[in-house]
A = this chain, B = another copy of it.
Amino acid sequence: MLSNIRVVLINTFHPGNIGSAARAMKNMGIRSLYLVDPQDFPNEQALTMAAGAKDIVEQAIITSTLSEAIADCSFVIGTSARDRTHSLPQMNARECGERIITESQSHPVALVFGRETMGLHNDELQQCNAHTYITAHPDYPVLNLAAAVQTICYEIYMAHQLHAEQPYTLGNSPKEKAYPNTQQMEYFYQHLETTLRNIGFLIKQHPGNTMLKLKRLFNRARPERQELSILRGVLSAIDKLSAQIKKDN
């Protein structure tokens, strides 16, 4: 299960934080690190702070966008402050640990951390299925990036250990659902946008806002694979219709 879990750090400013995050991950049995457009990497400071987790830093996968880093993941959870107003389902770090262990039984899962100063941008949060926050004192709830990675990875490992002690038997196994990965969702969104443009619902110059709202809706709903193929079927039916109309005119 733990091998299905990756940590994604976006735009990290201090290379030392990358190293500390890698150490925190390895302490908790998580080994897959993705760096989206890091500001200063590779850097000696990352290796120093990693201590016994240099291998994780050295094997980190660098991408230029978040989409690339999560393309094959079927569950993506973003970290942010508790109060942030957006429409994603919220859970605390403990619930997040349990959820990630459950999800990682059947597919790759990503845990996404934003910049040291600004966290995740809205367009990045919108690529997530849920978000998680660390319970903290209201006087100063802002954790250091590596400390946040440590805390959530610790909750994941605690959930993993609990799970190992009480494995699912046939009787109490969670209902297995197959979810599309982020890449498949992206194809769906492209299809949706094309179709909606073809039927004149989206105006070519301003598709942004409406598409954003639709994406937010579907990410929150998190369609299963079967449901997604139904949606794709609907789009194909519409496509046929508009092709027919085009031909007839």
Interface residues of A (CB under 8 A from B): 20, 23-24, 26-29, 49, 51-53, 94, 134-137, 139-144, 146-147, 150-151, 154, 157-158, 161
Contacts and interface: CB of A to CB of B under 8 A. Distances in A.
Contact of A28 (B27, B136, B142, B144): B136
Contacts of A53: 140
24 contacts: A20-B147, A23-B140, A23-B144, A23-B147, A24-B143, A26-B137, A26-B139, A26-B140, A27-B136, A27-B137, A27-B141, A27-B142, A27-B147, A28-B136, A28-B137, A29-B137, A49-B144, A52-B142, A53-B140, A135-B154, A135-B158, A147-B147, A150-B151, A151-B151
Closest 6 CB pairs of A and B: A29-B137, A147-B150, A26-B140, A27-B136, A52-B140, A27-B143
Contacts of A135: 154, 157-158, 161
Most buried by B among A24, A27, A29, A135: A27
Contacts of A23: 140, 143-144, 147
Contact of A144 (B51, B136, B141): B51
Contact of A147 (B136, B141, B146): B146
A157 B137 contact: yes
A52 B53 CA distance: 28
Nearest to A53: B140
A157 B136 CA distance: 7
A147 B24 contact: yes
Contacts of A158: 94, 135
A161 B134 CA distance: 12
